[in-house]
């Protein structure tokens, strides 16, 4: 092959290669445009997804508000039907079923408004003032109001007796019928401690005549039974007598482990020494 032919072949190959490169560049441009278009679509979809999520949250919020408003309207209608068609005795029975005969522990000096018992079902927007007041009266009557001998809980007794946490103008000490005071502290030998316990417990004498007051002594160690009972009774018995003089029923319960004994006047002399002897016999330790 002469030089002319070789040059012709080279030039032809070069033209073919250049053509392929141009076609590849065009293809790359088309692919780049397609990729950009798809990325744009993806960005648009992401934006739409975010908007849909925001819209879903807003829809749920509006649905929740609508449901709450609808339920409140239904509850209000039911309460009004109860209030306008049933006598008070039947209404009280219904309210007592609604609030339930439960024990409520007053563990802080000032219980938070609405805690445990004042949920949406009893909200004034659902019940109206008069029905809410009747429900509150039922709650005070049937609930067992519990206190333990921590500094805050016993000091909270005067507050609980006078502060209407339902905000309907009631005087709790005229309504409360059931109270339990649990004494579980170990520093029963401290005089200032017992004075505080006595002073706060005797506030319960203000309750309306006929209240049920339970004093529960909880021992955690057998030596507490031996060492603390006499000092305990010297302060508890006067409080019990104060309650009985005010016309209340008083229950005295002793507990240690699985042993639980309720003192009855028919079992021993109603005095410090009489109850002390009874405790010895029940917990089986020698005099």
> pLDDT band at 110, cuts 50/70/90?
very low
pLDDT one-digit tens code per residue, 20-73: 777 777 777 888 888 888 888 888 888 888 888 888 888 788 767 766 665 666
Place of tokens 């070789």: 6
* Average of per-residue pLDDT across 262-271: 80
What is residue 114's predicted lDDT score, i.e. its pLDDT? 42
> pLDDT band at 104, cuts 50/70/90?
confident
Output the CA–CA distances (angstroms, integers) from residue 194 to 189, 191, 203, in the order listed. 8, 5, 14
pLDDT surpasses 70 at 211: yes
What is residue 186's predicted lDDT score, i.e. its pLDDT? 55
- Going by C-alpha positions, the residue among 209, 139, 141 that lies closest to residue 177 is 141
Q: For all residues of the chain together, what is the average pLDDT? A: 81
What is residue 118's predicted lDDT score, i.e. its pLDDT? 54
Per-state percent for the chain, helix, strand, coil, to nearest 5: 65, 10, 25
pLDDT surpasses 60 at 1: no
> pLDDT band at 113, cuts 50/70/90?
very low
pLDDT surpasses 90 at 142: yes
3-state secondary structure of 24: helix
Q: Which are the contacts of 6, defined by CB distance < 8 A and separation ≥ 6?
A: none
Q: Which are the contacts of 259, defined by CB distance < 8 A and separation ≥ 6?
A: 282, 283
What is residue 239's predicted lDDT score, i.e. its pLDDT? 92
> In the chain, what are the domain boundaries?
1-85, 91-283
pLDDT one-digit tens code per residue, 149-182: 766 677 789 889 999 988 899 999 999 999 999 9
What is residue 112's predicted lDDT score, i.e. its pLDDT? 47
Is 106 within 8 Å of 160 (Cβ atoms)? yes
What is residue 240's predicted lDDT score, i.e. its pLDDT? 92
Residue count (the chain)? 287
- What is the bridge-based pairing of β-strands 212-219 and 178-183? parallel
Q: Which are the contacts of 105, defined by CB distance < 8 A and separation ≥ 6?
A: 146, 147, 148
pLDDT surpasses 80 at 191: no
265 vs 260, residue with greater confidence: 260
Q: Does the model's pTM come out above 0.75?
A: no
* Average of per-residue pLDDT across 197-217: 93
Task: Pull the structure tokens for residue 220.
Answer: 């955690």
DSSP element (H, E) containing 133: helix 129-142
DSSP 169: S
pLDDT surpasses 90 at 138: yes
């Amino acid at each position: 092959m002469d030089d002319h032919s070789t040059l012709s072949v080279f030039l032809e190959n070069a033209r073919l290669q250049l053509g392929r490169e141009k076609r590849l560049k065009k293809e790359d441009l088309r692919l780049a445009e397609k990729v950009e278009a798809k990325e744009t679509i993806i960005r648009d979809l992401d934006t739409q997804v975010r908007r849909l999520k925001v819209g879903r949250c807003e829809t749920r919020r509006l649905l929740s508000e609508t449901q709450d408003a609808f339920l409140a309207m239904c509850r209000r209608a039911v309460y009004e039907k109860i209030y306008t068609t049933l006598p008070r005795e039947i209404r009280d029975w219904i309210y007592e079923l609604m609030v339930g005969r439960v024990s409520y522990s007053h563990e802080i000096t000032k219980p938070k408004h609405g805690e445990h018992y004042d949920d949406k079902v009893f909200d004034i927007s659902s019940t109206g003032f008069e029905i809410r007041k009747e429900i509150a009266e039922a709650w005070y009557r049937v609930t067992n109001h519990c206190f333990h001998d921590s500094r805050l809980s016993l000091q909270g007794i005067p507050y609980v007796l006078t502060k209407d946490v339902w905000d309907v103008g009631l005087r709790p000490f005229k309504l409360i019928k059931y109270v339990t005071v649990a004494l579980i502290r170990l520093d029963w030998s401290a005089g200032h401690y017992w004075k505080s316990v006595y002073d706060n417990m005797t506030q319960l004498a203000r309750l309306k005549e006929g209240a049920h007051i339970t004093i529960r002594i909880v021992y955690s160690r057998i030596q507490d039974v031996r060492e603390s009972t006499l000092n305990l009774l010297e302060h508890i018995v006067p409080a019990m007598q104060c309650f009985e003089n005010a016309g209340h029923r008083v229950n005295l319960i002793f507990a240690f482990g699985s042993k639980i004994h309720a003192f009855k006047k028919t079992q021993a002399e109603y005095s410090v020494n009489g109850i002390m002897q009874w405790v010895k016999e029940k917990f089986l330790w020698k005099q």
